[in-house]
Structure 1
């Protein structure tokens, strides 16, 4: 596991980029927590270890390149970023559909899949980002080859809207890691730590993306990730005026569905994935997160907009118009209808079958453990 030694990783990124200045090294603590959990708990395969080492080195390299770009172009830090909404909710609650609906409007902007993987331009790359886009297409094709069932669980659009939690990966304070690996110690730490430094950097990355594409200037951002359920106060403090769009679906459905997704992803990195560990872990994690979330909501009720999974599925355009209007943004019904038709035409894959018992859970247990939340759900 020496490949995951923190000092070795920091040095590898410096060697890869030829840069040395990481700026504020607050991120080293989360990186140490993560790598220790990877070493002790993740049961990485040989391939998984190699991929993980490459991934962590790439994330550190991006940190170095960000500081270098900011030094060369200090005007980046003057970019004014307006975040209209963060779409939150348990995974598998219709948040992806709502995100892609809202992002179809020409009146907003969002993080795109290819750029969450490759945030910074490569040397000599033109304004069309051709190199990064091709690398992103190749990367997602490889991902689907390594996780052939994933496309049946979650639709991937390499050039479509994507979760901003992937941007947060570069802070090593991200739900991505305990979704990709069995790292429960890291996950427990993540729920308890102050994420304010990570969200300050999220804002810096949005400034970089906005600076690269002048067409984004003046457009409000609409972002999405269940990760943000853990840091609602921090989001609202970092981005004044932001609204939390909370998607709701029965946890009896959502928790086993997410455990199934995690099992498919983590099989890339470990030959010893244990589904019966995943269910209780995510059930406990989401139960605690939702209870904390409700406490924040009670203090800042004006910052929340609720969306029911059933309404999004039955009337996606109407529900998107309602949310857009609540955000104080112009609703573009034609753009919404065009997205719905395109989504229907492009969907593929077979129905993904699983049960709560497949992941060490029962529906009765989930009903009991999430009884406090079920009152939010429209039947």
Structure 2
């Protein structure tokens, strides 16, 4: 395990900013609003995360790469100002609690030729490399190699969450480059960062997300006219901001009993964070995410009461039992045609990709079903359909 001082030195904010400048040969970050979240994040990592040597090396590399992407995006916009004129239309953000069928619903809806979505490889490598053709052969190869390396490091992860290196993926991975993302407290034990994020105004981060969608759309003219179908539970932390940033966007809320969803997500978090630290206590992880989601759903309830017309409800069991009919209904509520042939073709592929199951109990993560029922009673009564 690395010491707090070693982590703080390796993740010194100015050092990271300078390293990305050296890596790219670029210097202009534009608006440096993101330095505040990066500073909060790196301090929490030093004080709380107990990173392994490999975890620290991976984290430092990841942060420098994210900062390098910010520099490269700014330069690409200067060289191609038409990027900022791209009109981005978001049909929907799927943002139920994790482990509520949202991934299946997202991939199912994204299979429709009427919409587009962020793909896994392009959330990892959103900007073209020098000399790369429009086929993005360098980036897709790197993404596939990265995917295979991840599965070697976490061979059981596929039993928890199916990964498709070339399939639809959460747009929050683009937001990781803003350092305001639920990814970070899912990957690391950094509760002070999570508490800070609850209160932070994420409007600049969502303007950045819009810019990333613009640059992806600019690279793929075939996306013009196709609304984006996006997904991440992170958006529960900023529902008002999502709706303000993307006029016309609807929130698709997937519902499942938190007595199932919270322990399931805690299990996933423990599997991910084990790559970065050898000292992760599941009985800390469970209560942390219980509190995190109680807070998020309370805020969600307030926003929903003000803008009820912007929300669509989907029950977890509905997705599992009747996925194609559910997707058809949702597309109709979005005012989009449903291509049942495409939906059924995706479900056939999904059946082939299914892995084993993983087992856990609420008690494994310092929780009880009775306690979760009580903690989320307001959600079951007021929000869940």
Question: Normalising to structure 2: TM-score of the pair?
Answer: 0.97
Pick the aligned partner of 2:282 from 272, 275, 281.
275
* Matching residue of 1:153: 160
Superposition deviation, residue 144 in structure 1: 1.0
Q: Measure the CA separation in 1 of the matches of 2:115 and 2:350.
A: 19
Whether 2:208 is the aligned partner of 1:208: answer no
Q: Which runs of 5 or more structure 1 residues have no equivalent in the other structure?
A: none
Q: Measure the CA separation in 1 of the matches of 2:349 and 2:29.
A: 42
- Partner of 1:306, secondary structure, is strand
Pick the aligned partner of 1:352 from 333, 346, 358.
358
Superposition deviation, residue 147 in structure 1: 1.1
Pick the aligned partner of 1:369 from 352, 358, 375.
375
Counting matched residue pairs gives 377
Superimposed CA distance per residue, residues 191-241 of structure 1 (whole angstroms, 9 cap, x where no aligned partner):
110000000010000000000000001110010000000111101111000
Whether 2:135 is the aligned partner of 1:128: answer yes
* Matching residue of 2:270: 263
Once superposed, what is the RMSD of the aligned Cα atoms? 0.7
* Matching residue of 2:19: 12
In the TM superposition, structure 1's runs of 4+ consecutive aligned residues that sit over 6 Å from their partners are none
Q: Measure the CA separation in 1 of the matches of 2:295 and 2:176.
A: 22
Q: Measure the CA separation in 2 of the matches of 1:116 and 1:336.
A: 23
- Partner of 2:319, secondary structure, is helix
Whether 2:294 is the aligned partner of 1:294: answer no
Q: Which runs of 5 or more structure 2 residues have no equivalent in the other structure?
A: 1-6
Are the aligned partners of 2:162 and 2:353 in contact in 1 as well (CA < 8 Å)?
Answer: no
Pick the aligned partner of 1:103 from 107, 110, 119.
110
Q: Measure the CA separation in 1 of the matches of 2:175 and 2:384.
A: 29
Superposition deviation, residue 377 in structure 1: 4.1
- Partner of 1:53, secondary structure, is helix
Question: Normalising to structure 1: TM-score of the pair?
Answer: 0.99
Whether 2:119 is the aligned partner of 1:89: answer no
Q: Measure the CA separation in 2 of the matches of 1:239 and 1:14.
A: 32
* Matching residue of 1:182: 189
* Matching residue of 2:73: 66
Q: Measure the CA separation in 1 of the matches of 2:262 and 2:282.
A: 12
Q: Measure the CA separation in 1 of the matches of 2:380 and 2:161.
A: 24
